[in-house]
Structure 1
Amino acid sequence: MSDREDDLVVALTYYAPYVSGLTNMARDIAEGLAARGRRVTVVTSRYERDLPREEEINGVRVLRAPVLLRLGRGVVSPEFVRLAVTTANRARVVNLHLPMLEAGAIAQFTSAPIVATYHCDVTLPPGLVNTVQRTVVDASNRHAMRRAGAVAVTSEDYGRHSRMWPWIAPTVESIPPPCHAPPRGEPTYRETDGPHIGFLGRIVREKGLEYLVRAFRTLEDPDARLLIGGDFTHVAGGSVVEQVRSAIGDDDRVRLLGFVPEERIGDFYASLDLFSLPSVNAFEAFGIVQAVAMLAGVPVLSSDIPGVRQPVAQTGFGTLAPRADTAALAAAMRRLIAEPPDRAAGAEAARRAFSVDGVLDAYEVLFDKHARRGR
């Protein structure tokens, strides 16, 4: 590893090629600032053994620490803390992406100014092991926030409902995630002239896909289709694809597409009349994927929960339904199908609210504000 001095070091447990809202946001910030001429290094875990220990991805140096073992959704990597601290101590500022088990230790031992980006509270199923894990991660995140010069959240709406709000509030900065409009595509996933409803994301419990499937199944149109895109084979903590399949039952109008590759994302959105994010947590950070759908001109049906409701609330491009409520979700789905909003106006509203350049500008100002000056 070189002794170069970085403008920014980003530390998080999972990074590309792993795909999630958190990792995609960290990647977009890192690559966006690297494209602006900043020296950026990402320190992360080597969660798959075939990943290189060090490589450059789109102008960003990526350092990966070996993993000792997996614990639920997380990984245990004693080397990760040492690597993050050593790298951060040669940087002007370090950006910690939380929640992260190692955040407190990294914050304790690094001499670099810290900007924390808090994505979401840890939510795990009931059980002694999960309760201990959540308690430890929360304590680590609290310590990191106390040592941070600023804590960025994707919306204050979400932050105020987080159990971490007392530690977020003193230095809170509200910056939406950078959202890229997908490339124009062809409706190659479209099968009929009937309404096509889509979901794209991890096939996990908190996304509420069983409710979406059951709501869709109330539609009587034989030409209607529900397209569910997302990985269910390499998901930290495991997927709920079997529960989704059980909800689908014998309805041959539902498609489990699996992972949708980047080069086909435009085709996926071009095939939709409606996108849905039916999250069932009490609150969730933002849901970047729904903003991307809006940028593609697709209206959104999402859960009326703190954080996730913000894209619809800010743009008016779609509607909200109570979480974990099949009947309400089905009724909202029918309304949007019968009276679709103006797609061009909705896409423009999303562009104004969530442009990548605007988000990068905000993070660049924030990092410069807290970076140490000179050497």
Structure 2
Amino acid sequence: MPRDPEYDVVVALNYYAPYVSGVTEAARVTAEGLAATGKRVLVIAGHHDPSTPRREHLNGVDVLRTPVALRIGKGIVSPGFVPTVVAHARRARLLHLHLPMLEAGLIAAAVRRTPIVVTYQCDVTLPSGAFNAVQTWTLDRSHAVALRRADAVVVTSEDYARSSRLWKAMAGRVHSVPAPAVDRAGGTPSFRRGSGLHVGFLGRIVEEKGLEYLVDGFRAIPDPEARLLIGGDYTSVAGGSVVDKVRARIGDDSRISMLGFLATEDLPDFYASLDVFALPSVNSLEAYGIVQVEAMMQGVPALSSDLPGVRMPVLDTGFGRIVPPRDPAAITAALLELSDESFDQAECARVARERYWAPAIIERHVALFDSLYRSPRSR
């Protein structure tokens, strides 16, 4: 470890703000939280959006974006990414890698003396086919190298980690730390239309979210005053959106609204407009669902798929229902149950904040990082 480190933490991931996903938001909130404690933080990511600057100081964090030469599905190819991360990591007190990331194994193998923390968000699951099978195998091999070389592996839940294809590569160094959630308090119910049950979804409009099953389940509710509000980007999504499929399932049901991308300032009003938040995920690309936690923190119960990791906020708090993936009938039944159930919303929101609010999660990261500064594992 260098005597005069350039940064306390170098963070590496493929996509960073203004791109919005669960991975990027968890990385952004963590990085900004660490910077707020006085740590010098550099984020290195691909320059996926040419309208953003190559370098900037964003909310206390230095951000460096490397040029993108090629895009393959959800992935980006940036030839300068690995050497840039390695060079800065060798002059830092700690390297923080956010996976999935194809380059993770190369980076971890090249960084010898700097402690490494890997935040493992999820396994990669791609549609069937020879090319996708090669991509998945390559990603798993790279991730396994990074996980084995890491001094610590952070996961959102051990429930998810134990289900991962790479559990053996991370076992023994796992720290279960939920993703940091932002408190979206202070909103007004400006998205409500009428007095019926209002169900909401927020996230990228992509295959793994299972939105068509949510639409089918909601449409079976007979109440003409019920509403389904679907918020999230579908115009600039890595790997492409399934918005056409979702719209086809909506058909002529005027009770369902596609809201598009919601700006940060709109989120308090969105959560304040809901009676139930729905996260109908269908595969392992969803490992937690920070948006359901943000809803819980505002007193809104969650409907979640029975998937490792995704189910844990509801299991831990009792604030919602868990349904099998791809089961519209179960979604209908759960929504009707939740519409009739009387939760102590204030108490449930308090419990959710206690467990998931960003400042408490950042404290746990600081404690872990500080312990590794003092005694990095010999590799």
Name the SS for the 1:125 alignment partner.
coil
User: Separation in 2 of the partners of 1:349 and 1:31?
Assistant: 24
Write out per-residue CA displacement over residues 327-368 of structure 1, whole angstroms, 9 at most, x where no aligned residue.
Answer: 111101100011242211110110121121221111111111
Name the SS for the 2:184 alignment partner.
coil
Given that 1:16 and 1:27 are in contact with CA atoms closer than 8 Å, whether structure 2 keeps it comes out as yes
Shift of 1:373: 7.3
For 1:57, the equivalent position in structure 2 comes to 58
User: Separation in 2 of the partners of 1:372 and 1:239?
Assistant: 45
Evaluate the alpha carbon distance shift between residue 240 and residue 338 of structure 1 in structure 2; reply closer, same or farther with a 3 A threshold.
same
Alignment-mate amino acid for residue 179 of structure 2: P
Given that 1:315 and 1:353 are in contact with CA atoms closer than 8 Å, whether structure 2 keeps it comes out as no
For 1:210, the equivalent position in structure 2 comes to 212
Shift of 1:99: 1.1
User: Separation in 2 of the partners of 1:173 and 1:299?
Assistant: 27
> Which runs of structure 2 are paired with 1:75-154 in the superposition (5 Å)?
75-111=76-112, 112-154=114-156
Structure 1, 261-270 or 276-285: larger mean CA deviation: 276-285
For 2:238, the equivalent position in structure 1 comes to 236
For 1:67, the equivalent position in structure 2 comes to 68
User: Separation in 2 of the partners of 1:370 and 1:125?
Assistant: 38
Shift of 1:170: 2.3
For 1:359, the equivalent position in structure 2 comes to 361
User: Separation in 2 of the partners of 1:134 and 1:283?
Assistant: 12
Given that 1:283 and 1:305 are in contact with CA atoms closer than 8 Å, whether structure 2 keeps it comes out as no
Write out per-residue CA displacement over residues 13-72 of structure 1, whole angstroms, 9 at most, x where no aligned residue.
Answer: 000111011100111111001011000000110011222111010010001110110011
User: Separation in 2 of the partners of 1:100 and 1:373?
Assistant: 26
User: Separation in 2 of the partners of 1:283 and 1:68?
Assistant: 25
Structure 1, 339-348 or 138-147: larger mean CA deviation: 339-348
TM-score by length of 2: 0.96
Q: Is 2:325 the partner of 1:286? A: no
Name the SS for the 1:78 alignment partner.
coil
Shift of 1:370: 1.6
For 2:192, the equivalent position in structure 1 comes to 190
Given that 2:5 and 2:93 are in contact with CA atoms closer than 8 Å, whether structure 1 keeps it comes out as no
User: Separation in 1 of the partners of 2:110 and 2:80?
Assistant: 14
Shift of 1:372: 5.9
User: Separation in 2 of the partners of 1:50 and 1:57?
Assistant: 15
User: Separation in 2 of the partners of 1:4 and 1:62?
Assistant: 17
Given that 1:294 and 1:317 are in contact with CA atoms closer than 8 Å, whether structure 2 keeps it comes out as yes
> Which runs of structure 2 are paired with 1:318-333 in the superposition (5 Å)?
318-333=320-335
> Which runs of structure 2 are paired with 1:263-342 in the superposition (5 Å)?
263-281=265-283, 284-342=286-344
Name the SS for the 2:80 alignment partner.
helix
> Which runs of structure 2 are paired with 1:10-49 in the superposition (5 Å)?
10-49=11-50
Given that 1:175 and 1:362 are in contact with CA atoms closer than 8 Å, whether structure 2 keeps it comes out as yes
Aligned residues: 372
Given that 2:125 and 2:284 are in contact with CA atoms closer than 8 Å, whether structure 1 keeps it comes out as no
Evaluate the alpha carbon distance shift between residue 82 and residue 213 of structure 1 in structure 2; reply closer, same or farther with a 3 A threshold.
same
Shift of 1:371: 2.3
Name the SS for the 2:248 alignment partner.
helix
Evaluate the alpha carbon distance shift between residue 314 and residue 373 of structure 1 in structure 2; reply closer, same or farther with a 3 A threshold.
closer
Name the SS for the 2:362 alignment partner.
helix
Evaluate the alpha carbon distance shift between residue 326 and residue 373 of structure 1 in structure 2; reply closer, same or farther with a 3 A threshold.
closer
Shift of 1:78: 1.3
Alignment-mate amino acid for residue 64 of structure 1: R
Shift of 1:123: 1.0
- The sequence identity of aligned pairs, in percent, is 56
Name the SS for the 1:247 alignment partner.
helix
Q: Which consecutive aligned stretches of 4+ in structure 1 deviate over 3 angstroms post-superposition?
A: none
Evaluate the alpha carbon distance shift between residue 226 and residue 67 of structure 1 in structure 2; reply closer, same or farther with a 3 A threshold.
same
Evaluate the alpha carbon distance shift between residue 173 and residue 317 of structure 1 in structure 2; reply closer, same or farther with a 3 A threshold.
same
User: Separation in 1 of the partners of 2:254 and 2:233?
Assistant: 20
- Structure 1 gaps of 5+ residues are none
Given that 1:299 and 1:340 are in contact with CA atoms closer than 8 Å, whether structure 2 keeps it comes out as no
Name the SS for the 1:105 alignment partner.
helix
User: Separation in 2 of the partners of 1:114 and 1:286?
Assistant: 23
Alignment-mate amino acid for residue 192 of structure 1: G
Given that 1:93 and 1:372 are in contact with CA atoms closer than 8 Å, whether structure 2 keeps it comes out as no
User: Separation in 2 of the partners of 1:338 and 1:203?
Assistant: 29
